[in-house]
Homo-oligomer: A and B are copies of this chain.
């Protein structure tokens, strides 16, 4: 390595870069926006619409969803009760890391059990990081009619067992920060409501 690497312009700092320093850099405050709702309710569409809207405004947003989690970090988890719980726990921990890094982090998973979501909320509270639970409350009739992945059809035919809303419960949040029903709210309108919420909370300007 060349001898001229003297690093004279690098200031030595003990410890970590603070959350505030990263927030100043990004001009936003990291948080987790947790979408929960039935399969086909419109969680991912809403998340990706908001992601685009935020990035258009120069803000850093990122979506954790089945595509990048189930085939990666959680590929060694199945659908037993214990594995479903561990699935949400790991997603919650990763979202917390992203939020700590300053990212406007969105998660798009059915996450049907209140207990699991409340655990993730508690993790964020412990880390003093905002947790915004968004209930995508589209009724099951609409979700089943849409059935974008053909999963309801398979569940009704008994080809999928333990399908949320059919033969496994969905426990709606008791006090979500926001509730959005995709029957009456378009993805664009939903994203605008969320953006307004983030602005009101001082998370983005």
Contact = CB atoms under 8 A, between A and B. Distances in A.
A113 to B, nearest CB: 18
Contacts of A94: 73, 94, 97
Contacts of A102: 60
A175 interface: no
Most interface-central of A7, A17, A52 (chain B CB within 10 A): A7
A146 to B, nearest CB: 16
Contacts of A143: none
A101 B100 contact: no
Contacts of A103: 101, 103
10 contacts: A5-B196, A7-B188, A7-B189, A10-B195, A16-B51, A17-B52, A25-B60, A62-B97, A72-B97, A98-B98
Per CB-CB distance, the 7 closest pairs between chain A and chain B, nearest first, are: A7-B192, A73-B93, A7-B188, A13-B52, A62-B101, A72-B93, A10-B53
Given A10-B195, A12-B52, A101-B103, 12 more contacts: A1-B193, A6-B192, A7-B191, A11-B52, A11-B56, A12-B187, A21-B55, A22-B55, A25-B55, A26-B60, A64-B97, A72-B93
